[in-house]
Amino acid sequence: MVRPDRWLALATAVLLAALVPFLSPGSQAMGAAQTVERVTTGLAGDVDTFDPHRTRTTIGYQFAMSMYDRLVSVDANSKIVPYLATSWQVTPTTATLTLRNDATCSDGTKVTASVVAGSLRRLGAPDTRAPYAVRTFGVGGFTVAADDTAGTVTITLNRPFSDLLLGLAMPWAAIVCPAGLRDQDALGAKSFGSGLYVLDQSIRASSYTLVARSDYRWAPKDAAALDALPKRVTYRLVSNTTTAANLLLAGGLDIAGISGRDLDRVITNKTLARTESVSFGTDYLLFNQAEGRPGADRAVRTAMAMAIDREGYNKAAYAGQAKPVTNFFTSKVDCFNRATKDLVPRYDPNEARAALQRAGWTAAADGKLAKDGKPLTVKVLGYPAQNAGPEYLFEALQKVGVAAQLQVVEFGTLTTIYFGSGDWDVTSFPFGPPMPSPNTITAFVSGPTPPNGTNLAHIRNEEYNTAAEAGRTTTGVGRCVHWVQSQAVLLRNVDVVPLVARVTQWFGRGLEFRMFAESVIDPFSIKKRP
């Protein structure tokens, strides 16, 4: 199984990559059932692999969710609903799922408990190198037992992990059919699933066409009517967002996600229905708390947090299109803590400077603060996709007397600094977890520090560690008690300071749909608008 630190670094890369799919044109009504006959889908970049266990991108998730089934799914409220499994029993270390008996692979093979077990074993096998398997099974290892007569699959974990059921609902937990397990190299280029769609035509770096199965009769519990879903979907590379907006307005796209400078002109077109997509995580301030760094002092962290205005950062980084927040998760995440407003330092630059002076920092002739002859110098780290966000942080800290230094680097260099040299003090971390679980932040704020782990801010908060461990090992209603507490602990200690939640506006021409994640459309939700 992949190391947690490697998985988390990969997860960060995925969430910062500009690989956002744009669904596109050509839908036509067919008969009284309002069936969508054909949809052409534009992609901002190419798919990395069709292997659902190995893909690392949101585009890969889009294909995985279209061509493969999963044991369970999540509805619009992030609640788990039946899919291949009709019912289940869960403890902190086990999950026993009862399967429906009518699902078949695209080659006609029946989806039995043994078929499911074989796919799950492959997902968690070290040789598979599945980057997100740890999000389903945890880090302690597991076994899978199948009972074809009873139609049940039992997963047993070596260590308690309360996200097991939710992890089984994620795209990377797709059930790969036996033909794919026998020819695993082919999984990267072909489909071997029991899902609604099969890959019909593939032209690398150009287009991919999926065709709906005529024999498909099973779907997640909250799916739209199967006869209303698109019968044929062609994915075509459309790498420029301005081009996507132009095509949408001209009728060349049916659905598109639009953000940035192109958004205003699309919003004014009242013929398009708009759907807002909000990420599971938020952009939040991190302060490097390594020994000898200014951020190791809670008083300094608090004062710097008070110097930052969320609205100001929003305007600089996202042209005001994001949502200021007071938590590092959004309400789409299970166990979201709604009572965090008073736990986050309020914006007050005058008080920020005064607080630093009370902590022993005095102003020099140039207005910059120093203690024992040493100036309060911090390095602000950002990357170009944050637009003017890093500059805003730099200027806001300068205004309260901090001798800030600004470094804006390409993403590859950013991750090298985060997880390598550690030479930074303040950053806006774009936290974009791939699933709606409060556990997804844990390895970024606890545990080993770089280069041995991903606790890049060198946070040492034992109260958080205790609450998070209880959340990971508790099922039922008690689970959220611990996760709510863990969120409050990080905020009170100013280990994490939430800024904004990223928002993408999606538009449909004659179609309605819902988002599975920030930039992944649920393929079972696309239908003609009433």
Q: Give the pLDDT confidence of 425-444 residue by residue, as tens digits.
A: 999 999 988 899 999 999 89
Q: Are residues 272 and 298 in the same domain?
A: no
User: Residue 379 is encoded by which pair of tokens?
Assistant: 């390095």
Q: Are residues 164 and 287 in the same domain?
A: no
Average confidence (pLDDT) over 145-151: 98
SS3 breakdown of the chain: % helix, strand, coil, rounded to 5? Answer: 35, 25, 45
Whole-prediction pTM: 0.84
* Per-residue pLDDT, 45: 75
* Per-residue pLDDT, 164: 96
* Per-residue pLDDT, 511: 85
* Per-residue pLDDT, 18: 32
Q: Are residues 454 and 524 in the same domain?
A: no
CATH number at residue 393: 3.10.105.10
Q: Are residues 258 and 405 in the same domain?
A: no
Tens digits of residue pLDDT in 447-478:
999 998 999 999 999 999 999 999 999 988 88
Q: Identify the band that residue 27 occupies on the pLDDT scale cut at 50, 70 and 90.
A: very low
Cα-trace Rg, the chain: 24
* Per-residue pLDDT, 238: 80
User: Residue 240 is encoded by which pair of tokens?
Assistant: 């420029």
- Asked if 152 contacts 99 with a C-beta cutoff of 8 angstroms, the reply is yes
Tens digits of residue pLDDT in 179-190:
999 999 999 999
* Per-residue pLDDT, 206: 84
Ranges of H-type helices in 102-217: 113-124, 134-137, 164-168, 178-182
Q: Are residues 294 and 187 in the same domain?
A: no
Q: Identify the band that residue 22 occupies on the pLDDT scale cut at 50, 70 and 90.
A: very low
DSSP structure class, residue 414: H
Q: Are residues 68 and 80 in the same domain?
A: yes
Tokens 């939700």, located at residue: 525
Instruction: Print burial letters for 302-337: b (CB count within 10 Å at least 16), e (below 16).
Output: bbbbbbbbbebbbbbbbeebbbbbbbbbbebbbbbb
pLDDT at 33 over 80: no
Compute the mean pLDDT over every residue in the chain, rounded to the nearest whole number: 90
Q: Identify the band that residue 498 occupies on the pLDDT scale cut at 50, 70 and 90.
A: very high
CATH number at residue 186: 3.40.190.10
Domain total of the chain: 2
